[in-house]
Structure 1
């Protein structure tokens, strides 16, 4: 049980990190972090889009005891990138990111232990192909934490390269 709270707490840390981006210069916010990479705004929209998918598709499937499926990554990620470049303000993207993550954490905290730890099918697969670990919602959340941290590290390195820290 402590492991569940620890993982969900780690997942929630992203909300606090979002606050550190409020004062990022608009030029930096919109500049790709490297050649053929997204900008900070696109990265945040990308993570938010996945959080929304967890809320709208994954959690309802889990509650019904069904398998879960993830969409094809490229087209799904393009939706977030296009949204980030649509003229939406930095503040709106940040608020949406924080609000969505906090709602997702609240929903996860309300799920029973058995639901969070039950073995599930993910895209018709029972175990993670990289680790051999059986899939559960908790395992999927841990994968999303790793995903968050990957992108946070990219943003932090970009900030350091531009003398923003």
Structure 2
């Protein structure tokens, strides 16, 4: 297993990365990443919703030694996308993402070496998931 502290450090890099998205214009913020794909706003909301789910469900289940259960992805992600289009400001959505990710990282750091390996593995997979979306968004930003 990877060192939990290193996994969490990597996981926390999303905070600084997301901060630079505050400078986007609305056209870029709401433009789909590709035809039929989510917008940057929807992806950010998607990441936020998953972090919230980790805080309220995944961490507790892993610490208790229970199986980690996940919601149905499509309806879950649809709710996140709906939130992105609810009228929430870019600044507020990005603040919520950063605050939630920081809270999740604090929870994980508090576990220290007692972090269950299943949770460390799940966080590593989530870091890879973040990177996938970050690369998508960076690709759009590099085209501007």
Please classify the TM superposition score into its range, dividing by the shorter chain length.
over 0.9
Aligned structure 1 segments of 4 or more residues deviating by more than 6 angstroms: none
TM-score (norm. length: structure 1): 0.83
Question: Distance in 1 between the 2:4 and 2:63 partners?
Answer: 17
Q: Secondary structure at the match of 2:120?
A: helix
Counterpart-to-counterpart distance in 1, 2:48 and 2:2: 26
- Contact 2:45/2:93 (8 A) holds in 1: yes
Distance apart, 1:2 and its partner CA: 7.3
Name the one with the larger helix percent.
Answer: 2
> Quick one: distance in 1 between partners of 2:89 and 2:115?
37
Is residue 77 of structure 1 aligned with residue 58 of structure 2? no
- CA positional deviation for 1:64: 2.1
Larger radius of gyration: 1
* Per-residue CA distance 1:60-114 (angstroms, 9 max, x = gap): 2122221110111111100100110111110110000000000000000001423
Q: How does 1:47-126 map to 2 (within 5 A)?
A: 47-117=47-117
Tell me the residue number matched to 2:4. Answer: 4
Are residues 1:152 and 2:131 paired? no
Cα RMSD for the two superposed structures: 1.3
Unmatched 5+ residue regions in structure 2? none
Q: Name the counterpart of 2:41.
A: 41
Higher RCO, 1 vs 2 (CA within 8 Å, ≥6 residues apart): 2
